[in-house]
Copies of this chain bind each other. A is one copy, B any other.
Amino acid sequence: MTRRHAADPRESYLYFQVMTTRWMDNDSYRHMNNTTYYSFFDTIVNQYLIEHGVLDVERGPIIGLVAETTCRYFSSIGFPAKINVGLRVGHIGSTSIRYEVGLFKDDEDVASAQGHFVHVYVNRESGRPIAMPDALKSVATQLMPGPEMTGLRTRLREGRTIA
Query: Measuring CB to CB, which residues of chain A are less than 8 angstroms from any residue of chain B?
Result: 1-2, 17-24, 26-30, 33-36, 38-43, 46-47, 50, 57-58, 63, 65-73, 76, 79-80, 90-91, 93, 96-98, 116, 118, 162-163
Contact = CB atoms under 8 A, between A and B. Distances in A.
A26 B28 CA distance: 6
Contact of A42 (B18, B23, B57): B23
Contacts of A17: 20
B58 A30 contact: yes
A22 B34 contact: no
Contact of A20 (B19, B36, B90, B163): B19
Tallying the copies of this chain within the complex gives 4
Contacts of A68: 2, 70-73, 162-163
A22 B19 contact: yes
A22 B40 contact: yes
B38 A34 contact: yes
A61 B35 CA distance: 24
Contacts of A19: 20, 22
Given A24-B39, A35-B36, 19 more contacts: A1-B91, A19-B22, A20-B20, A22-B43, A23-B28, A23-B33, A23-B47, A30-B58, A34-B42, A35-B35, A46-B79, A50-B80, A65-B73, A65-B76, A66-B73, A67-B72, A67-B163, A68-B71, A68-B163
